[in-house]
Amino acid sequence: MKSSLSCGTSPIVGLRFSIHPMADNFVEIIKGALSKADTSNVWMHTDDVSTVMRGKEIHVFDTAKAIVLHAAATGAHVAFNGTFSIGCPGDTTGDSYLEKEDVLVNEPNVKDYRQYVSSQFGLYPMNNPDYMAIIYKEVERAKECGVFNESMHYASGLHGDIHDVFAFLEETFMHARSEQNKHLVMTVNMSINSPSHKGGS
């Protein structure tokens, strides 16, 4: 929420997220994940509650997945909480990194990692009378992609390998918006290495 009501048509994708390792050495795990990921293609800023990342869509998803994977690779029980956003009317073009080339810098380093993830996502197409139909369509897409887990109140459950889940989320984030309805918000929660996941993979 910025301080101007002016309309924006920025292609900047933003992600405000937190990584929560349920471990005494949480600082070490978070700092390690951030340093192992290549964050050079996005603008980032961390405060005392969360971290914001801005850039091209492909780089935001590439960087976010790498950070989650590097934290997960420690074996700790880790939660990821993120809100993806595009097209907010109050958004600015600052901190955009939109000049970066379309070459993924993290995918080559993490593509061979395997990691089971249980996730829940919510889609919020703003100012759109057809938003419920869009949501149901994307839930159907999750089923077709094989990452759907279960229906639930206020979210939809996904699970599977983290690469499949992130690929679905990136695709859905592209499909659930349009030229007429630019402002889209997507919330994502992930649980990794949970004691509740009895050998799930």
Least distance CB 18 / Ca ion (angstroms): 5
Window of 33-41, 60-68, 80-88, 171-179 that interacts with a copy of itself by CB under 8 A: 80-88
87 is a contact residue toward a copy of itself (CB under 8 A): no
5 is a contact residue toward a copy of itself (CB under 8 A): yes
Half-sphere exposure of 146 (CA within 13 A, CB side): 5
Window of 14-22, 69-77, 160-168, 177-185 that interacts with Ca ion by CB under 5 A: 14-22
Unique residue bearing structure tokens 């595009």 = 86
Window of 12-20, 59-67, 90-98, 165-173 that interacts with Ca ion by CB under 5 A: 12-20
> DSSP 3-state assignment of 174?
helix
In sequence order, what DSSP letters do the residues of 105-152 get, joined into one string? Answer: SSHHHHTT---EEEEEEEEEETT-TTHHHHHHHHHHHHHHHT-EEEEE
Distance CA 14, CA 93 (A): 11
24 is a contact residue toward a copy of itself (CB under 8 A): yes
Task: Give the residue with the Cβ less far from a copy of itself, 146 or 200.
Answer: 200
